C-alpha cells in the first residue's frame, strides 16, 4: 500500500481540505498512476455537497484523471511505466452481466464501481477519486492517451468528452446530419467540437447572443437564439439530433419541435425537477426523447483515439489543487470557460 495525498470533503457543508489515505498495493492486473491533472465536473460539487443524496465522507472527488504509469502488475500487458493514461467515471464493473458483455459497463446490472463516493466491487472498500496524488486501477479500466494530446486539456474528455461523443456516435452522426446543441458550457462546447469533426452541420442553441462568436470558433456553423420565440418557428423540423446539455428547468416541448420526423433529442443535463412532455410532441413525427450516460470503456477509448486523430481537447483553465474551493464557487457563478482542471503536481 502507498500513502496518497488528496483534497477531500469531510461533510456536505465544509470546504475541501488536505487529506491522506492509503491506496491499495498493485495487484497482478493493476496499473499504478501518478496523477498529473484532474478535471472538475459539476457532479463533483453535487456529490461533495450531498445534493444528490447518498454521499459518504471523507470523499475525494474527481473522475477526469490523467497522468503517467509508475508501476504495473505482473500480468499487465497493455501498459508500461511512463505511458500517458487516463481514468474516467468507472474503475470496475461485474464484467459478466448483459450490459457489461455489450461494453456498456456504465449500465452494469450489478452496479459499477464508480471512481469515487462508491465502493470497489466487493461493496466494502471505498473508492477515492482524482483529487489525489496517485491511483491504482485495473488495467481493463485504464485508458490510453495519445502523446500528441495536451495532457491537462485531455482530462475533461474522460467525462465531458465521452458524455457527448457517445450519443453522437449512437445516433450515427456524420456528413449530412444536422445537429443542434443546447447550451454552451462544459458539455456543450465538447458536443460542438465533436459533432463538427464527425462532419455534421452544427447549430448552437443558446439563450445569449454573447455565446455566438465562441460557438462558431468551436466549430458551429449556425446559431439560434432560444430566448427569441421566432427561433423555434424558423428552425422547426430542422434537426436529426438535438444534444440537450441544460440542467436548469426549461421546456422540452419547444425543442422537440425542432426535430425532423424520427429525430431524437438526447438529454445530458439533469434539471432538479421533472419536466412535462406533451404526448403529441412525440407522436407528431415519431420523435424520440431519450438520455445518455457517459460511455463504456471501449467507447471511451474510441473517443480518445478520435480526439487524437482530430486534435480535439477541452478548453480549460488550469489551477493548483489548493484553489479547488474557489473553483467550485466560480463554477456556481458560471465563471469558467469551459472546464477547470486541477494541477495535482502542486500537492
Which tens digits make up the pLDDT trace of 126-168? 999 999 999 999 999 999 999 999 999 999 999 999 999 999 9
Q: Residue written as cell 472498500?
A: 125
pLDDT for the residue numbered 236: 98
pLDDT for the residue numbered 37: 98
**Model confidence at 290, in pLDDT bands (50, 70, 90)?**
very high
Distance, CA of 41 to CA of 313 (rounded, Å): 15
- Residues contacting 296, CB < 8 A, separation 6+: 102, 103, 104, 105, 106
What number is the average pLDDT over the span 223-244? Answer: 98
CATH, domain 161-291, list 3.40.50.720, 2.130.10.30, 3.40.630.30, 3.40.718.10: 3.40.50.720
What number is the average pLDDT over the span 16-38? Answer: 98
pLDDT for the residue numbered 172: 98
Neighbours of 295 (CB within 10 A): 26
- Residues contacting 309, CB < 8 A, separation 6+: none
Q: Residue written as cell 452481466?
A: 97
Contact 33, 19 (CB under 8 A): no
Q: Residue written as cell 503517467?
A: 68
**Model confidence at 22, in pLDDT bands (50, 70, 90)?**
very high
pLDDT for the residue numbered 130: 98
Domain extents for the chain?
2-159+315-346, 161-291
- Residues contacting 209, CB < 8 A, separation 6+: 223, 225
What number is the average pLDDT over the span 264-289? Answer: 96
Fold of 2-159+315-346: Quinone Oxidoreductase; Chain A, domain 1 (3.90.180)
Specify the 3-state DSSP secondary structure of 344.
Answer: helix
pLDDT for the residue numbered 307: 98
| pLDDT tens for each residue of 306-343 | 999 999 999 999 999 999 999 999 999 999 999 999 99
Give 157: exposed, middle or buried? Use CB within 10 Å, 0-12, 13-18, 19+.
Answer: buried
State the average pLDDT for the chain: 97
Contact 95, 166 (CB under 8 A): no
Contact 344, 37 (CB under 8 A): yes
Distance, CA of 31 to CA of 16 (rounded, Å): 27
Contact 192, 184 (CB under 8 A): yes
Distance, CA of 127 to CA of 206 (rounded, Å): 37
Specify the 3-state DSSP secondary structure of 226.
Answer: coil
- Residues contacting 5, CB < 8 A, separation 6+: 18, 19, 20, 132, 133, 347
Contact 44, 8 (CB under 8 A): no
What number is the average pLDDT over the span 92-108? Answer: 98
Checking DSSP bridges between strand 30-39 and strand 134-138, what pairing results, if any? antiparallel
pLDDT for the residue numbered 246: 96
Specify the 3-state DSSP secondary structure of 275.
Answer: coil
Calculate what percentage of the chain has a pLDDT beyond 90.
99
pLDDT for the residue numbered 225: 98
Distance, CA of 214 to CA of 204 (rounded, Å): 10
Equal fold, 2-159+315-346 vs 161-291: no
Give 215: exposed, middle or buried? Use CB within 10 Å, 0-12, 13-18, 19+.
Answer: buried
pLDDT for the residue numbered 333: 94
Amino acid at each position: 500500500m502507498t500513502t496518497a495525498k488528496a483534497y477531500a470533503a469531510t461533510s456536505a457543508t465544509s470546504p475541501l481540505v488536505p487529506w491522506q489515505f492509503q491506496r491499495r498495493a498493485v495487484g497482478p492486473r493493476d496499473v499504478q498512476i501518478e496523477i498529473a491533472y484532474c478535471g472538475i465536473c459539476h457532479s463533483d460539487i453535487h456529490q461533495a455537497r450531498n445534493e444528490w443524496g447518498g454521499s459518504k465522507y471523507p470523499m475525494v472527488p474527481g473522475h477526469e484523471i490523467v497522468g503517467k504509469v509508475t508501476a504495473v502488475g505482473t500480468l499487465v500487458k497493455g501498459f508500461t511505466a511512463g505511458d500517458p493514461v487516463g481514468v474516467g467515471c468507472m474503475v470496475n464493473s461485474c464484467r459478466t452481466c448483459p450490459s457489461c458483455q455489450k461494453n456498456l459497463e456504465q449500465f452494469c446490472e450489478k452496479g459499477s464501481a464508480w471512481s469515487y463516493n462508491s465502493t470497489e466491487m466487493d461493496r466494502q472498500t471505498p473508492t477515492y477519486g482524482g483529487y489525489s496524488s496517485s491511483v491504482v486501477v485495473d488495467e481493463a479500466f485504464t485508458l490510453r492517451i495519445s502523446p500528441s494530446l495536451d495532457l491537462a486539456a485531455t482530462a475533461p474528455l474522460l467525462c465531458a468528452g465521452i458524455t457527448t461523443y457517445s450519443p453522437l456516435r449512437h445516433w450515427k452522426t456524420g456528413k449530412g446530419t444536422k445537429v443542434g446543441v443546447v447550451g454552451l458550457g462544459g458539455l456543450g462546447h465538447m458536443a460542438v467540437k465533436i459533432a463538427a469533426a464527425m462532419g455534421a452541420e452544427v447549430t448552437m442553441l443558446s439563450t445569449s447572443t454573447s455565446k455566438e462568436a465562441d460557438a462558431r470558433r468551436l466549430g458551429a456553423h449556425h446559431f439560434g437564439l432560444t430566448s427569441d420565440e421566432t427561433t423555434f418557428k424558423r428552425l422547426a423540423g430542422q434537426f436529426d439530433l438535438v444534444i440537450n446539455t441544460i440542467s436548469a428547468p426549461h421546456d422540452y416541448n419547444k425543442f422537440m419541435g425542432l426535430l425532423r420526423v424520427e429525430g431524437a433529442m438526447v438529454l445530458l443535463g439533469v434539471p432538479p425537477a421533472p419536466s412535462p412532455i406533451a404526448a403529441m410532441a412525440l407522436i407528431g413525427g415519431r420523435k424520440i426523447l431519450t438520455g445518455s450516460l457517459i460511455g463504456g470503456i471501449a467507447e471511451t477509448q474510441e473517443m480518445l483515439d478520435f480526439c487524437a486523430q482530430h486534435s480535439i481537447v477541452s478548453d480549460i483553465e488550469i489551477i493548483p489543487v489548493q484553489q479547488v474551493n474557489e473553483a467550485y464557487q466560480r463554477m456556481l457563478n458560471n465563471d469558467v470557460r469551459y472546464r477547470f482542471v486541477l494541477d495535482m503536481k502542486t500537492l
